[in-house]
Structure 1
Amino acid sequence: MTLAQPGLPERGLDAAASQSAAEQATGWKTVLACAAGLTFGPSVITVFGFGAFINPLDREFGWSVSSISLGATIVAIMIMILAPLQGLLVDRFGGRRLVLWSIPAFGLSLCSMYFLPNNLLVFYLAWVVIPLCGLGIWPISYLRLTAGWFDKNLGLAFGVTNAGIGVGAVVVPLLTAFFISRYGWREAFVCLGVVALLVWPIAFLFLKESGRQASPMNMQGDTLAEATRTRPFWIAVAGFFLLGIFSASILVHHVRILIDAGIPPATATVLPAALGASLVVARLLTGWLLDRFPASWLMAIFLVGGAVAAGLYSRGPDLPLAILSAALVGLVVGAEFDVLSYIIPRYHGRKSFGRIYGVIFAVFQFASAIAAFAVGYSRSQLGSYAPAMMVLVGVCVVCALLFTQLGAYRFVAGERTAK
């Protein structure tokens, strides 16, 4: 019998373990850098920071609230247009390169708002250019980078990455309000641009493409065309269309719903921050749960909570019920993009992650743009949010039933399990 040389197997195992630990450490550093990028990226600053500029612009230029608010609609339309393009680019060139080019362009575009003239057309054009400058730092790039590093803890990794948006939803409105009150709205745009630029060194130092991006695990999966021939793809499209209706309806009109219910405006204005905090918790919790339970049933359970929240909003909740409703909404909003990020590699593999995510995200944004306007119109015509909220109850129920039909994962640990 031939004996192996002592120490060689052990050294080999130690080297493998060391390499695995080093890869995991780099992966988690990338995840934290991704979370930082999302905290101060366009998906937070252009959405959650926009509202703080409405009153200052109204006072200085005399523009109506509806005219200014059209800028937010333009942002939603631009996100819808850019998402599939970003998905294509991130699959082709990788996320790191797009992020490093886009952060400076986005930060400087925000700073340029300092020179905004009294011209609505220029204002609208700015909200076309700013999202375009941020092309590479919408969520798809960061999520694609995260997906390259993890499989076993994929849900938790997505949860931590997506939690950046929740943190931003709390921090950015407070920062924006501080900058405006302390320096003025023009200077506030410059300050936000500088904050966005400060993410660049973090991205440069810690944002890494996985060495496994070209491995069989990450190259395996459906093309976009192949995905469109599967049932899970169309269930996801329909489900996220309905989620877009629910999320935009509540988030855009949340404060006014509470004021209509008799909650003092000062209190109603603070409650969205509580929703943002619950959103952070929900994203982390959902990420952890996704590694242990089927995404389809988790999303269905959260949507039942969303239906309860919409029902409470339709009745005009008092403060305790309003807090409960905000927490339930936070669970849905916090879970939705963790779930989307997770089900794509599980049902379609990683090969075309960016393209598939971009298409479904564009559908979500399209539904959001329609719903935000439709709910406002319903309120103005009927004098109450109650009818729209009852429609949202039905939306949540139908959406929950859709998700239960997703079926078993097709890819587990990078392996195709079914055709």
Structure 2
Amino acid sequence: MQAPPSRPRFYLGWTVVAVAALSAFTEVAFYNPVLGVFIPAFEREFGWSRTEISAGVTLGSLVGAAFAPFFGPLIDRFGGKPFVVGGAAFIALGLVLLSQMQTEWQFFIIYALGRGTASGLMSLAAGVTVSKWFIRRRGFAVGVMSLGSRIGFAALPLSVQLIIEASGWRTAALSLAAVVVVFGILPAARWLHSRPEAFGLAPDGEHSPAPGPPRAAAGEVNWTRHDAVRTRAFWLVTLAVSLQSWAGGAINLHQIPHMVDRGLAPDTAALVLSLLAVFAATGGLIEGVFDARIGARWTLFLGLLGSATGMLFLMNVDGIGLAVAFTVVYGTAFGLTVASSQIVFADYFGRQALGAIRGAATPAQLGLNAVGPLVAGAAYDLTGSYIAAFVPFTCAYLAAATALAFASRPGLPAQLRPRPAT
């Protein structure tokens, strides 16, 4: 009898994880921590209010919310590569155009399309692709992928701040475009493979009988979007991640201006944000351990409680001490939530229609993400402080954790339920 083929020494899925991490790194160019560094420069040169600048984030999140339901099923059908490569090229072009920006309407168009592409297309495509390569080690794999954005949060705001101080914000935007080309487009075009079955593999590196279409792995239950959106679990998880996105998007954008308003120097605030990203990266790695022990749902639950706790430090920042306390607690919790909020959908609903299912959840998530920064900016412009917004954001984290506590795993989809005897 022929012996089964030996398991390969190196699983190709880890190459996919590395490329997805680079993609996540480049997405940060249009995310709120980087825009937060640009805010003082925009205020000085154009005289825009923080509400006006936040409106660009709102438009970008709404565009991403519109993209996701359309592109999700296409990612399932064609794989993530064309959408990551095309999205990165579009982001690089947007940053070049941003460097030439002269008017507010130009900012709105550029940021709406750039952020919408990053959040509604690239992030979805990369995350779905990684989840399709892993089941047993999905938590660790997505945690490693999330290191890309955490490194981006650590490196890019501080780098942008230094370039702005040395050469101006327009040079900083052009520099970001070059980063996206090198780390976003080129690796994905070569190494972002869509699924393990195309290489005769099953998820986690096991052998599949032959190359072909994806099959359900042992113990895996695959849902269609039609069935998933009819479950209570889908809507409770969507509510939880949407509330987290509402608060988190605003905090990511306005934490640096808030710290500067409370007495920290701009370069110190940018350094604190980089430290936060280091702890977020740590949280992303810890997430893999927690996911293996208690599951993505309860890992996300702990991350939401930690985020609410971190907000107490942020609201009371009066110097470097509380700022660092905020970065440790909130950063670690943020790392837990970023990875587990993606994994919980794959754990509950399987791999085959994951793009379509996550695409169905994304409009609510990015819709609330669109509103959060605008709420914080308006609160500041009206009261001279962010506290009026930060208190509801803290409550939102607690409400999200409550929703998740009731989001138990769904039963079998309709096509797998036993039929009653006739």
The answer on whether the counterparts of 1:88 and 1:355 sit within 8 Å (CA) in structure 2 is: yes
Q: What secondary structure is seen at the aligned counterpart in 1 of 2:196? A: coil
Q: Which amino acid aligns with 1:35?
A: A
Q: Which amino acid aligns with 2:255?
A: H
Q: Which runs of 5 or more residues in structure 2 are unaligned?
A: 199-212
Quote the offset at 1:306 in angstroms.
Answer: 2.3
Separation in structure 2 between the aligned mates of residue 397 and residue 59 of structure 1, nearest angstrom: 37
What's the counterpart of residue 3 of structure 1? Answer: none
Separation in structure 2 between the aligned mates of residue 326 and residue 269 of structure 1, nearest angstrom: 12
What's the counterpart of residue 321 of structure 2? Answer: 320
The answer on whether the counterparts of 1:340 and 1:357 sit within 8 Å (CA) in structure 2 is: no
Q: What secondary structure is seen at the aligned counterpart in 1 of 2:194? A: coil
Q: Which runs of 5 or more residues in structure 1 are unaligned?
A: 1-7
Say yes or no: does 1:180 pair with 2:164. yes
Task: Say which of 80, 92, 97 aligns to 1:95.
Answer: 80
Rg larger in structure? 1
What's the counterpart of residue 255 of structure 1? Answer: 256
The answer on whether the counterparts of 2:245 and 2:366 sit within 8 Å (CA) in structure 1 is: yes
Cα gap change, 1:55 to 1:418, in 2 (>3 Å) = farther
Cα gap change, 1:328 to 1:349, in 2 (>3 Å) = same
The answer on whether the counterparts of 2:222 and 2:349 sit within 8 Å (CA) in structure 1 is: yes
The answer on whether the counterparts of 2:151 and 2:277 sit within 8 Å (CA) in structure 1 is: yes
Task: Say which of 23, 31, 45 aligns to 1:37.
Answer: 23
Q: Which amino acid aligns with 1:172?
A: L
The answer on whether the counterparts of 1:315 and 1:386 sit within 8 Å (CA) in structure 2 is: no
The answer on whether the counterparts of 1:40 and 1:172 sit within 8 Å (CA) in structure 2 is: no
Task: Say which of 83, 88, 94 aligns to 2:68.
Answer: 83
What's the counterpart of residue 128 of structure 1? Answer: 112
User: Between the two proteins, what is the percent identity of the paired residues?
Assistant: 23
Separation in structure 2 between the aligned mates of residue 375 and residue 132 of structure 1, nearest angstrom: 20
Quote the offset at 1:227 in angstroms.
Answer: 0.7
Separation in structure 2 between the aligned mates of residue 381 and residue 297 of structure 1, nearest angstrom: 38
Q: What secondary structure is seen at the aligned counterpart in 1 of 2:303? A: helix
Q: Which amino acid aligns with 2:277?
A: G
Separation in structure 1 between the aligned mates of residue 51 and residue 382 of structure 2, nearest angstrom: 16
Separation in structure 1 between the aligned mates of residue 45 and residue 319 of structure 2, nearest angstrom: 36
Instruction: Spell out the pairing of 1:159-308 with structure 2 (5 A cutoff).
Output: 159-199=143-183, 200-212=185-197, 214-217=213-216, 221-259=222-260, 261=262, 267-308=268-309
Q: Encode CA deviations 1:40-68: one digit per residue, 9 max, x unaligned.
A: 13x44343322333444444455555444
Q: Encode CA deviations 1:302-335: one digit per residue, 9 max, x unaligned.
A: 3222232233444456543332222222233222
The answer on whether the counterparts of 1:303 and 1:399 sit within 8 Å (CA) in structure 2 is: yes
Q: Encode CA deviations 1:145-188: one digit per residue, 9 max, x unaligned.
A: 11121111110001011121111111111232333344433333
- Of the structure 1 ranges 65-74 and 75-84, higher mean CA displacement relative to structure 2 is found in 65-74
* Superposition RMSD in Å: 3.1
Say yes or no: does 1:106 pair with 2:91. yes
Q: What secondary structure is seen at the aligned counterpart in 1 of 2:70? A: helix
Separation in structure 1 between the aligned mates of residue 409 and residue 33 of structure 2, nearest angstrom: 36
Say yes or no: does 1:156 pair with 2:140. yes
What's the counterpart of residue 17 of structure 1? Answer: 7
Cα gap change, 1:418 to 1:149, in 2 (>3 Å) = farther
Q: What secondary structure is seen at the aligned counterpart in 1 of 2:222? A: coil
Cα gap change, 1:351 to 1:81, in 2 (>3 Å) = same
Task: Give the alignment's TM-score, normalised by structure 1.
Answer: 0.84
- Of the structure 1 ranges 311-320 and 160-169, higher mean CA displacement relative to structure 2 is found in 311-320
The answer on whether the counterparts of 1:144 and 1:353 sit within 8 Å (CA) in structure 2 is: yes
Separation in structure 2 between the aligned mates of residue 238 and residue 156 of structure 1, nearest angstrom: 24
The answer on whether the counterparts of 1:283 and 1:338 sit within 8 Å (CA) in structure 2 is: yes
Separation in structure 2 between the aligned mates of residue 60 and residue 384 of structure 1, nearest angstrom: 22
Q: Which amino acid aligns with 1:328?
A: V
Separation in structure 1 between the aligned mates of residue 249 and residue 418 of structure 2, nearest angstrom: 35
Cα gap change, 1:125 to 1:271, in 2 (>3 Å) = same
Quote the offset at 1:119 in angstroms.
Answer: 3.0
Separation in structure 2 between the aligned mates of residue 27 and residue 348 of structure 1, nearest angstrom: 21
Cα gap change, 1:313 to 1:179, in 2 (>3 Å) = closer
